[in-house]
Amino acid sequence: MAKEIDFIIIKLLLKFILIGLLFAAFPGEIANQIIVHKTLWGFASTMLIYSVLLFFGYFISKLFKRKLALTLLYFVLFGIIGLLIEYFIIGQGPEAYASGMFTFWAFLFTLPRIFTPLENAADLPVRQAGEVGGKKVWGLGDVGGLMPPSSLTGFIDDSSQFEGWKKRVLKYWLISSPIVLIVFLIPPLDVGMYLGIHALMVQLVGFYVFFFFYLKQLYYSHRTSRKPRVEARGGMLQIPEGK
């Protein structure tokens, strides 16, 4: 069981990193490193740096419950961290599209979080509060005497109620990104870069529209989930007294 849990955590970690890399590369870093600066090495090294940052971002994301206020705090936190990286490590000035850089970094870590389910609310084994034959029982999902993970943890899992939102934002991403890249290819290079950067800014603004509806759905999902907490004891479901 321990090996199974480790495998699931690794799988979710890799999914988090992969989604972040795809968002960073397509179209932003493909346009910046390959079309504008024409350097595959720069592209590869940038992706490596993003991978390291996303690795740590994954574990930081586990500290934030998927509730409205904490999700917004998480979004703003990584936007600010991204600006600090741009200003003090990369050397970009405050005048260099600060709002766009904030948005890029915030979504770089927020989209993988949205598309990656919580371990304890989706994939990891949930412990039954009881014993069978004198041994503690573990199982996957809502099986037998096991309660749904969200009932035991208080977390809202990003499962079926968000599938429609995920499909829409993915469709927007896949349609708008090639358009941005085409704009970057407009000759001459400086004109294409100028228009491409603004096209990229417009695309990032579009993500805010989807994010607003995600937050709205998250808020209402949390409200409807506020019900008496149910516990499983010895295979029997009970509502704790005073709740």
- pLDDT for 44-100, tens place per residue? 999 999 999 999 999 999 898 888 999 999 999 999 999 999 999 988 876 668 889
As a whole number of angstroms, the distance between CA 184 and CA 196 comes to: 4
Mean pLDDT of 107-133: 62
What pLDDT, on the 0 to 100 scale, is given for residue 5? Answer: 64
What pLDDT, on the 0 to 100 scale, is given for residue 95? Answer: 66
What pLDDT, on the 0 to 100 scale, is given for residue 66? Answer: 82
Question: Coil, strand, or helix at residue 228?
Answer: coil
As a whole number of angstroms, the distance between CA 177 and CA 105 comes to: 17
Q: Where residue 133 falls among pLDDT bands split at 50, 70, 90?
A: very low
Global pTM reads 0.77
| CA contacts within 13 A on the Cβ side of 112 | 32
As a whole number of angstroms, the distance between CA 148 and CA 181 comes to: 44
With a cut of 60, say whether residue 194 has pLDDT above it: yes
CB-based contact 61:109 (threshold 8 Å): yes
Residue extents of the structural domains in the chain:
2-238
In the chain, what are the helix, strand and coil shares in percent, each to the nearest 5?
Answer: 70, 5, 25
How do beta strands 231-233 and 236-238 pair?
A: antiparallel
As a whole number of angstroms, the distance between CA 123 and CA 128 comes to: 15
Backbone φ, ψ for residue 136 (5° rounding): -70, 140
Through-space distance between the first and last CA atoms of the chain, rounded to whole angstroms? 33
Take residue 65 and report the two structure tokens written for it.
Answer: 């419950």
Q: What angle do CA 27, 28, 33 make, to 5 degrees?
A: 110
